Structure 1
């Protein structure tokens, strides 16, 4: 069948398997020449596709145990974050770390070591993982943690499924009193003021910014910075406080057709960005928003990836070290604005410190931009790659669909160590993806 990631680029012919048991999975591991696991297909590119054997994990979707004293949940790799929220938010628990969609699996969150709006304070997904059960190339299941087989644990988190097939894990949830978020919106007229808002909000639990990637001159990098805190019962009006976990379900929008290419030209995106910024600026200050609106605004638009047309889109996401972040972001935004390339979904976040074998985050800032796949955008992305490398940055493999092996190595000195570790553990031959082949991992 034809497979792609969420960006719908590239599209590859691949054989897929959906084992229903550990024994059936083991048979595939022992018989296929190479393979990779796939969760819900929310990686943007080709990291969860192997043309010979892509192992879909939808049937490994049970929640096994929960400890209400510690918030530890044991679940299989195919469980979605949305399933966890549906089951546990009414009981007063929420994921400690979540990316911008709830439609990712536990296995996918571990493989990408996903991050959220609270990395500056709580770190990436690894911070809430206690242990992982993973099937190796010999079909045996090993449990790894910070204390037991710590090297495998560290390389699996952020290893993009290249260290084995994740079967189950123990993760910790956070206790919350309500399903509401106290959101504070700050209108930042340029990049410098946006970064100043992030630095002043280091004590905020959550922070994220929508950024106008087509702003220029004095408006370069103008942003809406949104801070967030889990609301307590005392923060709610009396009517809401009596039902603090009851959120009225919203009608979801749906994109039934691929948008034509002209809808993403620079002029339309420039006008949209300007209107969006001023509409957000009028709502500055604090307000109560529900958890779904704050954490997962795009999940309310079913099939939003079709906005970019039938050829799909490529996301650029880099992390820049703190000392070079302002210069690097200025160069990236200047180049994007000059190109007039349309990106509705431009996001800026502040990262905290992180040391890990192969995970994406580093202390500094991360910028994410989406572009429709065409010759102009692909040429721009190569220029953005170079700017990132020149400023000491690196790239998020969960979003990558077109980077070269040379660019990856120029940006991340950990690549050869990760590759050597896979080879020494006998993992490199079996566990491969289209991305790992493209990037020579």
Structure 2
């Protein structure tokens, strides 16, 4: 059975073979890969030599205790569906990524992070336990105390350890889902780094939008948005259907240098010069682009690449400048340029991407070889800074970059279910493995 289970980047769009989770087993050519809602940007959610196992059909929340905030749900349940169930009881996700349209299983498998990593770390820290189905038919309950090594490998393991059937997570009680936001603009990257220590110490959440096209004395200018759940935020509206939609991909990239320059000038110019505080709706603070169905189509028919890196605090200022200048040198324009801090709260995940430092996210329309050359140049800056790339945002990092980012990949390979494989793992870890062990064959390709 072939279906168009594409990633969010839409660089490689094609019909992909699927199978039912009940068909998950060994000795299948190309292997299997659990598939959530396709919000990974690259090929970590693809398995073009084998079969995808869609987890959304029939997924449901099975239990929620409004006294403790403990919830159990099938892995295919969306975070938006969880929020709709728990917000009326005064609860919220401890960690929420930039979209609520990811599945519970996907949030665990990618160990997603949010705007409060400096306070609460990654999503994996909210996981109480989960049930993992292996290709041998054995179901294993994993938690920080039971089957801990498999628990740690599955959190951030990109679905490679088996099928997460259901998971139990811990939610946090909040006075309101809405956010008391303090926002202000900064005129250069130096102003951001001069302010961020005090901002992060005072607030649960913080994130900065960067004008990637600004240069000279204004290089790295942007808008900093700090927030906390409002004590007086009033009733919060539950998740709703998107108000707008991009129904088809335009023939050209609409988020080009000309349109982005105009947008950036407007967005920066409207931001307050001095800190301004007010109540904002939770959805607009945490998931603003969820209001537009198919916004990724605006990048045109060839899709987009997202480049998210993390690098140490001690060289963060100069690394951020180098990355922005590199993109400018290559004539590229990034619409969603986001800068935030990763704290030192450790993740249980063996392959978790966040680590102490700062993370910069850039996205670019796919212009072929020109874009790939720029992305490779960005990689070199990150590698020289002692940083890493985010695998579930990636479509093209080299095995060398992958190993520099995740030197513990061999431990992950040892925990991988032999019948599970992804295109990402095949082109990174398996390439490294083949180079080190010529002649070794993988049961899943």
State TM-score, norm by structure 2.
Answer: 0.90
Output one character per residue of 1:121-160: Cα deviation in whole Å (capped at 9) or x when no partner.
0000011101111111211110111101111111111100
* 1:162 and 1:432 in contact (8 A); partners too: yes
The answer for the alignment partner of 1:333 in structure 2 is 324
In 2, Cα distance between the equivalents of 1:126 and 1:257?
Answer: 35
In 2, Cα distance between the equivalents of 1:432 and 1:85?
Answer: 31
Matches within 5 A, 1:298-313: 298-313=289-304
Output one character per residue of 1:369-414: Cα deviation in whole Å (capped at 9) or x when no partner.
1101113222111100111001011011111111121221133322
The answer for the alignment partner of 2:221 in structure 1 is 222
1:131 maps onto 2:104 in alignment: no
The answer for the alignment partner of 2:343 in structure 1 is 352
* Residue in structure 2 matching 1:48, options 39, 45, 63: 45
In 2, Cα distance between the equivalents of 1:251 and 1:53?
Answer: 30
In 1, Cα distance between the equivalents of 2:271 and 2:184?
Answer: 9
Please say which of residues 263-272 and 209-218 is displaced more in the overlay.
263-272
Matches within 5 A, 1:52-63: 52-63=50-61
**How far off its partner does 1:319 sit?**
0.7
Query: Which contiguous aligned blocks of 4+ residues in structure 1 show a shift greater than 4 angstroms?
Result: 246-251
**How far off its partner does 1:247 sit?**
6.7
Matches within 5 A, 1:257-296: 257-261=248-252, 263-281=254-272, 284-296=275-287
In 1, Cα distance between the equivalents of 2:319 and 2:370?
Answer: 21
The answer for the alignment partner of 2:424 in structure 1 is 435
In 2, Cα distance between the equivalents of 1:70 and 1:218?
Answer: 51
Distance 1:246 1:48, change over 3 A: closer
- Aligned-pair Cα RMSD in Å: 1.9
In 1, Cα distance between the equivalents of 2:260 and 2:121?
Answer: 33
* 2:253 and 2:301 in contact (8 A); partners too: no
1:413 maps onto 2:412 in alignment: no
State TM-score, norm by structure 1.
Answer: 0.91
Please say which of residues 380-389 and 187-196 is displaced more in the overlay.
187-196
1:145 maps onto 2:143 in alignment: yes
The answer for the alignment partner of 1:29 in structure 2 is 25
**How far off its partner does 1:259 sit?**
3.2
The answer for the alignment partner of 1:22 in structure 2 is none
The answer for the alignment partner of 1:4 in structure 2 is 6
**How far off its partner does 1:215 sit?**
1.4
* 1:209 and 1:224 in contact (8 A); partners too: yes
* 2:206 and 2:225 in contact (8 A); partners too: yes
The answer for the alignment partner of 2:442 in structure 1 is none
Output one character per residue of 1:39-95: Cα deviation in whole Å (capped at 9) or x when no partner.
011111111121221000112511111122321101110010000111111121111
Query: Any stretches of 5+ residues in structure 1 without a counterpart?
Result: 20-24
Please say which of residues 277-286 and 190-199 is displaced more in the overlay.
277-286
In 2, Cα distance between the equivalents of 1:307 and 1:188?
Answer: 28
Matches within 5 A, 1:4-403: 4-17=6-19, 19=20, 25-30=21-26, 32-33=28-29, 34-51=31-48, 52-203=50-201, 204-232=203-231, 235-236=232-233, 241=234, 244-246=235-237, 252-261=243-252, 263-281=254-272, 284-353=275-344, 354-355=346-347, 356-374=349-367, 375-403=369-397
In 2, Cα distance between the equivalents of 1:67 and 1:159?
Answer: 28
Distance 1:64 1:31, change over 3 A: farther
In 1, Cα distance between the equivalents of 2:216 and 2:275?
Answer: 23
